[in-house]
C-alpha cells in the first residue's frame, strides 16, 4: 500500500490544490463532513444518535486537521 502525502498549498494554483485536497479527503472518507452543516443534538437524543454525532465531530476535526496541515 502506498503512502499518500497531504497536498500542500503554497499560495499558488489554488484550484489544483483544492481538487487534490478534496480527493485526499475523499480517500480518507472525510469529505462529506466538510460539506455537511453541523446539526446540534436534541435534548432527547438516543444513545445511537449521540454516538453518531460524536463520530461526525471527530471526523470533522480530522478533516480540519488535514486542511490546516495542507496550508504552508
Report if residue 4 sits inside a domain: no
Instruction: Please tell me the distance from the alpha carbon of residue 62 to that of residue 26, in angstroms, as a whole number.
Output: 12
Domain count, the chain: 1
Question: Is residue 64 pLDDT above 70, yes or no?
Answer: yes
Assigned C-alpha cell, 54: 460524536
Report if residue 62 sits inside a domain: yes
- Given this model, what pLDDT does residue 37 score? 87
Domain that holds residue 21: 14-69
- Given this model, what pLDDT does residue 1 score? 52
pLDDT tens-digit readout, 2-38: 577 999 999 999 999 999 999 999 999 999 999 988 8
Report if residue 9 sits inside a domain: no
Task: Count other Cβ atoms within 10 Å, centred on residue 3.
Answer: 4
Assigned C-alpha cell, 67: 486542511
Averaged pLDDT for residues 43-61: 93
Report if residue 52 sits inside a domain: yes
pTM of the predicted model, to two decimals? Answer: 0.83
Greater confidence (2 vs 45) lies with 45
Amino acid at each position: 500500500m502506498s503512502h499518500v502525502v497531504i497536498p500542500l498549498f503554497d499560495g499558488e494554483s489554488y484550484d489544483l490544490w483544492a481538487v487534490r485536497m478534496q480527493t485526499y479527503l475523499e480517500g480518507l472518507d472525510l469529505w462529506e463532513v466538510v460539506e455537511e452543516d453541523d446539526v446540534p443534538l436534541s435534548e432527547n437524543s438516543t444513545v445511537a444518535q449521540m454516538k453518531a454525532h460524536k463520530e461526525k465531530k471527530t471526523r470533522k476535526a480530522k478533516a480540519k486537521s488535514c486542511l490546516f496541515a495542507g496550508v504552508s
